[in-house]
Amino acid sequence: MGLTKTEIFSDQQNRIADLAKAFAHPARVAILQVLIAKKACVCGDLVDELPLAQPTVSQHLKELKRIGIIKGEIDPPRVCYCINETVWEEARQTFGTLLDSFVPATCC
Amino acid sequence: MGLTKTEIFSDQQNRIADLAKAFAHPARVAILQVLIAKKACVCGDLVDELPLAQPTVSQHLKELKRIGIIKGEIDPPRVCYCINETVWEEARQTFGTLLDSFVPATCC
DNA sequence: TTTATTAATCGCAATATTACGATAGAAAAA
DNA sequence: TTTTTCTATCGTAATATTGCGATTAATAAA
């Protein structure tokens, strides 16, 4: 089917999954790392930094914007992208809480 | 194409992406949460806990095993799944480091 | 106005993912 | 041995994702 049954999971579970998608592709990881490294926001130099075609980069940027973890400021003819501090913090909290919720115990 | 060009990204970037995939689907988030909640490892009750068919759950478990974040001990006819402490810690470190690497600055 | 520059979008092709019914396999229980 | 129980795998269908060439849109520059 390829259709995730989002309606049968909690909002929290769906949000975690969405936030994780921001990091679930190496190109998006690379994009985020570049945005972090260049403290100021990088514009279309992203295309130069990455071994991907411009439309492909643009598509990943769109996905990251959909998730909310980056934002783009239009400064024609360029667009300036940067990390969305609020959502980044949400991700930090979310994954922090989730990853800290496991307490090792004797198991299998 | 649908084919991620893994070879053009670093091992680190590919590993981050893979670890993120463990959390990038609400069903897998749910599975991991169940495994954490039942301190001991849960067997096939996962199917009862989740609103998904048994083959679907099995497929998600396979993906989680591929990533390494869970392990399954065969105890016929059951299989006992649990969090792989080592890989979970790797994820904690990985996402911790990544998410802490962003320092807010004046931007767009 | 014409020409660059930059980035989004369209359209397509290829592959991946998600889901599940049906089936198979493996071992315990009857 | 037959049956039951549990889980993996197969096969299939539907949708999603990834990637890119070509095009478009928007603005600045010439």
Find which of B47, B70, B95, B103 to mutate to test the A interface (most A CBs within 10 Å of its CB).
B95
Is A7 inside any structural domain?
Answer: no
Region B67-95: mean pLDDT is 93
Is B70 inside any structural domain?
Answer: yes
For the stretch B13-44, pLDDT in tens is 999 999 999 999 999 999 999 999 986 677 77
Is B71 inside any structural domain?
Answer: yes
Is B14 inside any structural domain?
Answer: yes
Q: What angle do CA B94, A106, B30 make, to 5 degrees?
A: 55
Is B81 inside any structural domain?
Answer: yes
Question: What's the CATH code of the domain at B47?
Answer: 1.10.10.10
Cis peptide bond N-terminal to B77, omega within 30: yes
What's the Å distance between residue A25 CA and nucleotide C5 C1'?
A: 29
Is B92 inside any structural domain?
Answer: no
| pLDDT, mean over chain B | 91
Is A2 inside any structural domain?
Answer: no
For the stretch A67-106, pLDDT in tens is 999 999 888 788 999 999 999 999 999 999 999 999 998 7
Structural domains of chain A, count: 1
B45: nearest nucleotide, CA–C1' criterion: D6
For the stretch A41-66, pLDDT in tens is 777 789 999 999 999 999 999 999 99
List of residues 6+ apart from B56 with CB closer than 8 A = B27
Q: So what's the pLDDT on residue B2?
A: 60
Is B46 inside any structural domain?
Answer: yes
**CA–CA gap between residue A34 and residue A45 (Å, rounded):** 10
A46: nearest nucleotide, CA–C1' criterion: C7
Range of the domain at A61: 12-93
Does the beta carbon of B66 lie under 8 angstroms from any beta carbon of chain A? Answer: no
Helix crossing, A85-100 with B85-100: angle to 10°?
Answer: 160
